[in-house]
């Protein structure tokens, strides 16, 4: 089988051929201007990983790196079948939904003495044991428990074969973000987020890229993040950030696609429309970054230190914070292990 295009090249390939999703130049420039106005704020920095991940262990410990691996390996498909039926986890007085239920569950398990961040344990834990770790506080369970169990035990076995920890595994790639992503995708099948579009193998590698970005974030908090060429990463193509890009005018959906989304149609992983949403999201963020860096150079006379991962780190919480204002833009739904 031919080698898949890497995520950035995949985004460009898809955006130049897309039939239902379109990158809007005016919207791209508008988002770049918005980010330019925030260039001196903490919103566009990678510092403070602990602040962005308040439920994680202290980044000074290698346990934080294993926590990142466990969470990112199971970081997919949290959307509820019905909006009023969400899995909930309450931890230290705060009730969490969505992705944060996973973070709260793993940290709760650690406090209960369950060695959930030890590959020796999670590589052979039972479905029932994982179900207990991921238990909900209400009647709505965490979706896809069987799939989460399969990918976590698989990932744990790989870590045991590769030195016994996430740090020992990822260190094989040196300080190269591209090599890190390629290593993860090569060794751990559940991270192999690929599809076929217009006869070409393409990739998004959403979870693999987030895993590398989180590793970078932990190392950044230790003062060691500047050794990793994080600029290679793209945005992390999911279902929440594309909604924000449409809301901000950087993406536009065709009437046909919009109607399918409003009808609640469930897209299969690899569906042409799903691939176009994700690919055009990647490329629009690349263009936003390019335009932002041009603004910084022209107006400030400086080099731009904002990369695609940082833009994603801004857009994802932006979408969560403004979910009411953008409720008229439906998100696409795909039940899969990739995002």
Report the DSSP pairing between strands 89-91 and 21-23. Answer: unpaired
The conformational region for residue 216 under phi > 0 = left, psi -120 to 50 = alpha, else beta, is alpha
| CA separation, residue 9 to residues 88, 182, 233 (Å) | 38, 15, 12
pLDDT at 99 over 90: yes
pLDDT for position 325? 97
CA–CA separation, 309 vs 119, rounded Å?
27
pLDDT at 266 over 90: yes
Q: Does the active-site annotation cover 238?
A: yes
pLDDT for position 249? 98
pLDDT for position 225? 75
CA–CA separation, 121 vs 116, rounded Å?
7
pLDDT digits (tens, 9 = 90+) for 298-320: 999 999 989 999 999 899 989 98
Alpha helices in the chain (DSSP H): 7-15, 25-36, 49-52, 62-73, 99-111, 119-122, 127-133, 145-161, 166-170, 177-187, 206-221, 240-247, 255-262, 272-295, 308-321
pLDDT at 46 over 70: no
pLDDT at 47 over 70: no
Which residue from 28, 31, 24, 32 is spatially nearest to 253, judged by alpha carbons?
24
pLDDT at 264 over 80: yes
pLDDT digits (tens, 9 = 90+) for 189-236: 999 999 999 999 999 999 999 999 999 989 888 888 777 888 999 999
Q: Confirm if 147 and 78 have CB atoms less than 8 A apart.
A: no
CA–CA separation, 207 vs 198, rounded Å?
24
CA–CA separation, 252 vs 334, rounded Å?
19
pLDDT at 4 over 90: yes
pLDDT for position 200? 97
C-beta atoms surrounding 259 within 10 Å: 12
pLDDT for position 203? 98
* Mean pLDDT value of segment 93-105: 96
pLDDT for position 224? 82
pLDDT for position 43? 83
What confidence category does residue 158 fall into, taking pLDDT thresholds of 50, 70 and 90? very high
Q: Which one of 72, 193, 214, 238 is the catalytic residue?
A: 238
Encode burial over 71-94: b for 16+ CB neighbours within 10 A, e otherwise: bbbbbbbbeeeeeeebbbbebeee
3-state secondary structure of 54: coil
Query: pLDDT over 70 for what percent of the chain?
Result: 99
pLDDT for position 1? 72
pLDDT for position 2? 83
CA 171 to chain centre: 21
pLDDT digits (tens, 9 = 90+) for 271-306: 999 999 999 999 999 999 999 999 999 999 999 989
Q: Which long-range contacts (CB under 8 A, 24 or more apart) does 116-119 make?
A: 116/70, 117/57, 117/63, 117/66, 117/67, 117/69, 117/70, 118/66, 119/66, 119/156, 119/157, 119/159, 119/160, 119/164, 119/165
């Amino acid at each position: 089988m031919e080698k898949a295009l890497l995520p950035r090249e995949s985004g460009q390939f898809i955006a130049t051929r897309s039939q239902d999703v379109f990158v809007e130049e005016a919207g791209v420039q508008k988002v770049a201007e918005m980010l330019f106005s925030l260039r001196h704020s903490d919103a566009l920095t990678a510092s403070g990983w602990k602040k962005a991940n308040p439920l994680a262990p202290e980044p000074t410990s290698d346990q934080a790196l294993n926590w990142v691996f466990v969470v990112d390996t199971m970081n997919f498909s949290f959307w509820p079948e019905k909006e009023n039926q969400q899995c909930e986890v309450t931890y230290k007085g705060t009730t969490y939904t969505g992705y944060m239920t996973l973070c709260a569950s793993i940290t709760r398990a650690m406090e209960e003495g369950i060695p959930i961040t030890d590959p020796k344990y999670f590589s052979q834990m039972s479905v029932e044991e994982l179900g207990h770790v991921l238990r909900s506080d209400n009647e709505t369970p965490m979706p896809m428990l069987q799939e989460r169990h399969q990918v976590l035990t698989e990932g744990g076995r790989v870590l045991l074969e590769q030195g016994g920890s996430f740090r020992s595994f990822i260190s094989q790639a040196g300080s190269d973000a591209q090599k890190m992503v390629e290593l993860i995708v090569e060794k751990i099948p559940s991270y192999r987020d690929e599809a076929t579009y217009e006869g070409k193998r393409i990739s998004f590698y959403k979870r693999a890229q987030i895993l590398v970005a989180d590793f970078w974030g932990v190392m950044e908090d230790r003062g060691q993040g500047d050794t990793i060429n994080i600029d290679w990463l793209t945005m992390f193509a999911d279902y929440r950030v594309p909604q924000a890009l449409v809301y901000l005018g950087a993406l536009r959906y065709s009437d046909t696609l919009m109607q399918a989304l409003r009808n609640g149609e469930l897209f299969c992983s690899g569906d042409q429309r799903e691939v176009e949403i994700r690919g055009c999201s990647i490329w629009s963020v690349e263009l936003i970054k390019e335009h932002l860096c041009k603004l910084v150079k022209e107006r400030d006379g400086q080099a731009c230190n904002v990369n695609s991962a940082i833009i994603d780190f801004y857009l994802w919480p932006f979408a969560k914070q403004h979910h009411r204002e953008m409720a008229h833009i439906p998100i696409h739904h795909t039940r899969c292990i990739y995002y």
